[in-house]
Amino acid sequence: MSTSSHVDNVLLALVILPTLAWTIGLLVWRLLRGSDPSSSSTRTGRIASHLDRIAILRRWGTISPLERNIFGGISILVATITLLSTIMLIFRFNTRSPAQAIQFPLPPLPISLYADALSLYFLLVINIIALGASWNAYFYLQKEPEAGFYRGPSLFHVLMNLFHFTMLLTPVMDNLIGLWIAIESTTLVSALLVAYPNTARSWEAAWKYLIITSTGIILAFMGTVFLIHGMYASNDPVLHTMNWSELIQHIHLLQRNDSLDFVLLAFFFALAGYGVKAGLAPMHTWLPDAHGEAAPPISALFSGVLIKAAFYAILRFVMLTEKALGNEHLWLITYVLLGAGLFSLTMAVPFILNRKNHFKRVLAYHSLEHMGIILFGTGVGSAVALFGALLHVLNHAITKALMFLAYGNVLRKYNLSEEEGRSNILEPAGVFYLMPVTGLLLAMGGLALVGTPPFNIFLSLWMILWGGVQRWLEVMHTQSASRPLEPYILGISILIFSLATTLIYFGLVQHLARILLSHPPARKRIQEKITELIPLLLLMGLTCVLGVIVLPPLSILIQRSVDLLTLH
């Protein structure tokens, strides 16, 4: 192994392993700490002591303020290490010409980790949002009660860091079965985080989320099985593998093979299955409940990166299917992705326009909208639209995390619990007057979320729209006799896209006006600590910068990802 490869492997390990190490460390600390001294248990003896020690979920125990601060600080440090390691890995990757993927074998297991430009890009998105969420969780847990079943900062940190770890595994899994396992792991851990507020609504939302997404995961598993069957049914031994990096090089051999039918079947099942986890309509109904009931930092992770991890899995199947079909049949993938994207986008419109919806649920429906936008850009398929779609993945993640974290700060400062916040009457009012800095960040984040210039989402949204227009003009000039309706389909799709995003713009502005500008309650101005505002200001800074310029290292990484997506 060369020195360069060794450095890459060390950096990749620093991206993935710190979250797992910190999670294991917390669990070991809890086991060694034993039961809560204040517990009223009357059991005595060595056996009883061991039972108390292993009954982790029965009672995590009260921890001191110092321990609480240490746990929060370590979680922030771990998230910082993973982000910095990711950035260093990206800089090293960008200097290579041609781009060469990173292979990280795992000798005890029959799989290896694999990181190309697309993998590194999604790792960057995940770790940016994880750092902001970890910082916000530090203050969220200062106010949360510890007593009772399924409560406590240590439990929250265990689940949150384990959730972070499972999401990091998703983009680096070369084996498609390993990818499915990673996505399923995110489901199991995130369901526990949805239930963490420990209210009737949160447990109901967690159960609904688990049932619906598990159905999608089953469909995705079936799609993976169909792909396996198609590969191993072929006569070519080079296709007898489930490693994506090997399949993408040889799957074009199926263009003259009956196994191509199984590849198409695998694509449809993967799109439907992983699409459930990505929050695509019509199986999006878990979104508003899970996002609305989870703690603010968890809502930021859900909307910012969890649904993007599922989209990453869809992209891998799209790339395999497009290369297997060949250029003559790409119109099929285009129509399917355009239709799924527009359906999700238009489904979000009435829910966002409904003024009775609680603001956190409105933000959840915005995830449905933006996943539709991203899928639309992917379906258009031109280089400009694909660049815009991938850039939109990051832009939406940053902006939505900003909105959830800022609104969570408002609920906490207004002393509105998540359960009370369900009512429009108890929604915060007059935030501009009582929390001017947070109110300004909410206003700017909201305007960014609906594509107002000069913020980041406007840039990626415009690139997707312009890519769609370019594709439409190209089809108009080279109209195929076999597909005479294609120009009309693309034209109508662009019109629906523009109309839906315009309606959503006015819908969110109404909700923001109610929260920010309505008459405030009779109370003094609320103190806003700079330490609580730092993650919000950093996210807002990224929102502004990315609305003006895509920094060269990021632009190179996205362009290399686009090259992968367009390599048929």
- The per-residue pLDDT for 566 is 87
- The per-residue pLDDT for 82 is 97
Whole-number average pLDDT of the chain: 86
417 and 301 in a common domain: no
180 and 160 in a common domain: no
Residue 332 lies in a domain: no
What percent of the chain clears pLDDT 70, i.e. is strictly above it?
88
346 and 312 in a common domain: no
pLDDT tens track for 236-290: 788 888 899 999 988 887 766 667 888 999 999 999 999 999 999 888 889 888 8
145 and 214 in a common domain: no
- The per-residue pLDDT for 467 is 95
Residue 4 lies in a domain: yes
296 and 163 in a common domain: no
- How many angstroms from the chain centroid is the CA of residue 452? 22
Which has the minimum average pLDDT: 188-197, 415-424, 453-462?
A: 415-424
Residue 351 lies in a domain: yes
Domain extent, residue 298, equals 174-325
Among residues 111, 138, 171, which one ends one of the domains?
Answer: 171
- The per-residue pLDDT for 412 is 86
Q: pTM of this prediction?
A: 0.92
Give the Cα separation of 150 and 125 in Å (integer).
30
Q: Which residues contact 79 (CB under 8 A, 6 or more apart)?
A: 19, 127, 130, 131, 133, 134, 135, 164
418 pLDDT higher than 50: no
- The per-residue pLDDT for 34 is 56
Mean pLDDT of 104-114: 76
Mean pLDDT of 461-489: 84
137 pLDDT higher than 60: yes
- Find which of 102-116, 221-235, 401-415, 534-548 is predicted with most confidence, using mean pLDDT: 534-548
Among residues 294, 325, 356, which one ends one of the domains?
Answer: 325
465 and 448 in a common domain: yes
| H helices present in 95-152, as ranges | 117-143
150 and 189 in a common domain: no
Confidence of residue 559 (pLDDT cuts 50, 70, 90): very high
Confidence of residue 475 (pLDDT cuts 50, 70, 90): confident
Residue 297 lies in a domain: yes
Residue 356 lies in a domain: yes
Q: Which residue has the higher pLDDT, 552 or 155?
A: 552
pLDDT tens track for 68-106: 889 999 999 999 999 999 999 999 999 887 778 888 777
- The number of C-alpha atoms within 13 Å of 248 and in the hemisphere containing its C-beta is 18
Among residues 148, 171, 194, which one ends one of the domains?
Answer: 171
CB atoms within 10 A of CB 256: 8
Distances (CA, A) of 499 to 299, 305, 345, 346, 534: 28, 27, 10, 9, 36
163 and 21 in a common domain: yes
Give the Cα separation of 515 and 392 in Å (integer).
26
83 and 56 in a common domain: yes
164 and 201 in a common domain: no
347 pLDDT higher than 90: yes
- The per-residue pLDDT for 357 is 85
47 pLDDT higher than 80: no
- Quick one: which of 164, 201, 200 has its CA closest to 182? 164
60 and 205 in a common domain: no
392 and 370 in a common domain: yes
Q: Which residue has the higher pLDDT, 511 or 257?
A: 511
Residue 167 lies in a domain: yes
Residue 113 lies in a domain: yes
Task: Classify each residue of 443-470 as buried b or exposed e, where b means 16 or more C-beta atoms within 10 Å of its C-beta.
Answer: bbbbbbbbbbeebbbbbbbebbbebbbe
Quick check: helix, strand or coil at residue 197? coil
- The per-residue pLDDT for 232 is 85
Residue 368 lies in a domain: yes
Structural domain count, the chain:
3
417 pLDDT higher than 60: no
